[in-house]
Amino acid sequence: MREAHRGSGPASGGPPHDALRALLADLHRALRARPEPAGTPADLRAVARQVGPEADLAARFAAQAAEAGATVHRCTAGRLDAQVAALLAAAGARRVIVAGAAGQWLDPSRAATLAAALRTAGLEVRHAGELRFGEADAAVTGVDAAVAETGSLVLSTAGGLPRGLTLLPAVHVAVVGCAQIVPDLCDLMDRLAQRELPSCVVLATGPSKTADIEGVLVTGVHGPGRVAVVLVEADGAD
């Protein structure tokens, strides 16, 4: 595929091209015409923070996620396999994808163990790489983080997982280690700002929904209609 429209966009970071330069010049002129002092707002976090680290993060996260329409299930690591199997059975899911990533609580080795347990339970378990459009009933994944303030799951392409993994199947089971929960959106953004962003980061809060028709709430529009979060607490045996 040839490079699209040379000269109207930098191929990689470089000096601004003509159109951008002209726009910037006009903007400078506009601002000089009406100078209004507007300093940098200080200490955003002090004002914006809603949840501090001293809060019961698991409880807060669970409450918010439930409010957004997800179901939240707490269990110990030892009970994880049974919990996930039960959730998938309740959702009527037969063909599932199990995917973990480095840096998540559900890392590749735990994911492999879980996948094996689910196969034993009679489910058809595939890898993320085998995902075809709409072929899986459910996806069981880890998360990069969770946010207590909003009840959100942080999902990204960081682990090499497809964007469609947590989007296309109708059911999403997210396995979250309690230690992965950050208190506030401010904390999450601070963490994301510390290193290079993956190409896609999604904060997912509850199942896909709309109220466009007469204000009636309907779930499962384009994304998963059913989101189940399994919150794994540390237990002595783990």
Using CB under 8 A as the binding rule, the residues of this chain from 65 to 84 that contact other proteins are 68
Question: Cα–Cα–Cα angle for 106, 233, 117, nearest 5°?
Answer: 45
In the block, residue with structure tokens 């209004």: 36
Asked if 53 interacts with other proteins (CB under 8 A), we say no
Binder to other proteins among 30, 122, 236, 237 (CB under 8 A)? 30
Q: Which of 84, 204, 228, 231 binds other proteins (CB under 8 A)?
A: 204
Q: Assess 49 for contact with other proteins (CB under 8 A).
A: yes
Taking CB under 8 A as the criterion, which residues in 172-191 touch other proteins? 185-186, 188-190
Which residues touch 75 (CB under 8 Å, ≥6 apart)? 83, 230, 231, 232, 233
Contact with other proteins (CB under 8 A): which of 83, 104, 141, 150? 150
| Smallest gap from residue 29 Cβ to other proteins (A) | 7
Residue 222 sits in the site that holds other proteins (CB under 8 A):
yes
189: three-class secondary structure by DSSP = helix
Phi, psi of 227 (to 5 degrees): -125, 125
Question: 37 vs 236, which CB is nearer to other proteins?
Answer: 37
Q: Is 199 in the site for other proteins (CB under 8 A)?
A: yes
The verdict on 92 binding other proteins (CB under 8 A) reads: no
Three-state SS letters, 99-165: ECCCCCCCCHHHHHHHHHHHHHCCCEEECHHHCCCCCCCEEEEECCEEECCCCEEEEECCCCCCHHH
Rounded CA separation 132/141 (Å): 16
Residue (142 or 207) nearer to other proteins, CB: 207
237 binds other proteins (CB under 8 A): no
| Residue 99 contacts other proteins per CB under 8 A | no
146 near other proteins, rule: CB under 8 A: no
